[in-house]
Structure 1
Amino acid sequence: MNLVGTPKELNKTAEYLKSEFEMKDLGKTKFCLGLQIEHCVSGILVHQSAYIEKILKRFGMDKAYPLNTPMIVRSLDVKKDPFRSKEDDELVLGPEVPYLSAIGALLYLAQCTRSDIAFLVNLLARYSSAPTIRHWKCVKDVLRYLRGTTDMGLFYSEKSTNDQVFVGYADAGFLYDPHKARSQTGYVFKNGDTTISWCSTN
């Protein structure tokens, strides 16, 4: 059980629970649902480095050369865009290529702590029904990017919330997807300097 509150509230609640149930106080939460929680002097860092290492080994990318960016530059020519749908002369990846498993693993990461890959993972997930070798290469590029950024996460400052401003941003690109004539929508909400909610979808 995780409790959140002031030290006084936490102690009071813990003492009450101990009086009602047989339990142990394990101290501050350090790991929860794949999230690693580091209690620093000035705040809390939430990241998923252990989870990233796990999926890198799972897909044989734990020793791959890391990339500085998660996504290659897209071409303005729709016929050369690496993110275009399957063409007639291309083969669909067979079950021996774990495309769907990789997308699922990346989606969990993108939704929990890594907003920097949210757009790209959403884009690659659209080709789950008929992925090609082009799309699989892009998935591996994301994994290579993660290998070089395993320690990135969300930092929650211990500053009083009175000093922090809640800000939201939203945008939509009309006909952003030239292949299917769909718009791309995204938003991000921040509390102070920390991103607390985000989404990228079409």
Structure 2
Amino acid sequence: MAKANVQEQSVNFEEVFGPVTKMDSVRLLIALAAQESRRLHHMDVNSAILTGELEEELYVKQPPKYIKEGEEHKVLKLHKPLYGLRQAPRAWNIKLDSTLISLEFEKAPLEHTMYKRGKGNDRLLVGIYVDDLLITGADEEVIANFKLQMEELFRMTDLGLFSYYLRIEVQQKPEGITICQEAYAKKVLESCGMKDCNPSHVPMKPRLILSKTGEAPAVDATEYRSVVRKLRYLTNTRPDLAYSVGIVSRFMEAPTTEHWEAVENILRYIKGTSNFGCVYLREKKEMMELLGYSDSHMAVDVDDRKSTSGVAYFLRESMVSWPSQKQEVVALSSRETEYIAVATAVCRGMCQGRLLGDLTGKERVVLKVDDKSTISLWKNPVCHHERWKHIDTRYRYLRECMEESKIGVNYICTDDQLADILTRPLGRQKFVKMRRRIGFQAVK
């Protein structure tokens, strides 16, 4: 193990960044495999970090118990990276990337850890997360041949069908693929001392208002941050927690008992839904469409009056992306709030749509908005010039996308707005109904 703390930039290393697949892309790959009635396979590279190639000239002291007698003053020159070196993950990624390129794979321009090879039934898709390889394709023989190729080049472990990945449990069934984090959720409850708590029906009480300026007593900030970080990791498979966890994440600097009570309510909700997860059904259709929903909640933050944006994207009926986040600027009207949310949705949709096009050759993105004035402003900016000129110019990117037919926009009534669950705390009945409609349900 090398001591990274003694390395100096521009002396011992230059670049250290090593890309990994984003969770949105992993879910897109899972949804794509499900809808194309394909199976996902999993491989792991043994001691991957030690396999890379060093670009720098590095020396290390002789390790204890292996010091050569009479040459104690000498050092060892590294030919391969060691665990702990800052540039080791990047060196491994470069090695794996060059290997896959040599095997005639093409790298996705927008997701540098997603690769494709072949056409038709011979097409193979591979996603990379450090030393884990997610593999899917129409022909099992093509997948088997690729595994043999990789085993000849690296020391690999064939983990068979994709079933466990970064604390995410995956089940591949004839009717579809499910993902959940039941074991991790139970571990979080146990670590918080709430293993036997009474369950709650919703993660956050309706009309709950939290503030940084309250007079409630302070709580241990370190413990609060630790619990919230664990909850944030649960949102990788739980869109039902995206809004509530996003809210409690805003108070990590100086949390109080009011904020802690909100966290405890989330934990009680997890207690009753630990076996819930996302379902990706095997419903093959000719139209490969990325369908998005955009919604917002104006001035919901009482401290700075910034609004909240919620965006949900589905590959046909399978939910693959669900960001819920506070807007960066203060909106002056509900129309501006919606417009900012739509801009966020378009940017995310364009990235995922292009990735889908890179992997399948089919790219179609449609966004549904429940505000007609926003759609009118988008389609006819000249007619409302005096009303919208105060909006930051970066949101005019939407107009360009519309003119070039990169994305379609349709109106949807508020009752059918599936992103509503990402922008505000809902009552029990509406929350359960919305949760079911987005494809989040008990999977075990």
Normalised to the residue count of structure 1, the TM-score between the two structures is 0.87
Q: Tell me which of 177, 180, 186 is aligned to 2:301.
A: 177
* Counterpart residue number, 2:232: 107
In structure 2, the gaps of 5 or more residues are 1-42, 44-133, 327-444
Give CA-to-partner distance per residue, 1:76-131, whole Å, 9 cap, x none: xxxxx3x12232x4322135x72111110011111x11111111111111111111
Q: What is the identity, as a one-letter code, of the residue corresponding to 2:253?
A: S
Give CA-to-partner distance per residue, 1:17-40, whole Å, 9 cap, x none: 234445443311211101001111
Q: What is the identity, as a one-letter code, of the residue corresponding to 1:92?
A: A
Distance 2:157 2:234 in 1: 31
* Counterpart residue number, 2:212: 85
- Aligned residue pairs total 193
Q: How does 1:34-183 map to 2 (within 5 A)?
A: 34-74=167-207, 81=209, 83-87=210-214, 89-95=215-221, 98-110=223-235, 112-160=236-284, 162=286, 165-183=289-307
Distance 1:179 1:24 in 2: 51
> In 2 relative to 1, CA 187–153 (structure 1 residues): closer, same or farther, beyond 3 Å?
same
Q: Which has the larger radius of gyration?
A: 2
Distance 2:198 2:288 in 1: 39
Higher percent of residues as helix = 2
Q: What is the identity, as a one-letter code, of the residue corresponding to 2:223?
A: P
Distance 1:164 1:60 in 2: 45
Q: Is the 8 A contact 1:86 1:132 kept in 2?
A: no
Once the 2 structures are TM-superposed, how far is the Cα of residue 171 of structure 1 from its aligned partner?
1.7
Distance 1:141 1:73 in 2: 12
* Counterpart residue number, 2:325: 201
Distance 2:216 2:149 in 1: 64
* Counterpart residue number, 1:190: 314
Distance 2:230 2:175 in 1: 31
Calculate percent identity across the aligned residue pairs: 28
What RMSD, in angstroms, separates the aligned Cα atoms of the two structures? Answer: 1.9
Q: Is the 8 A contact 1:119 1:200 kept in 2?
A: yes
In structure 1, the gaps of 5 or more residues are 76-80
Distance 1:5 1:105 in 2: 33
Normalised to the residue count of structure 2, the TM-score between the two structures is 0.41
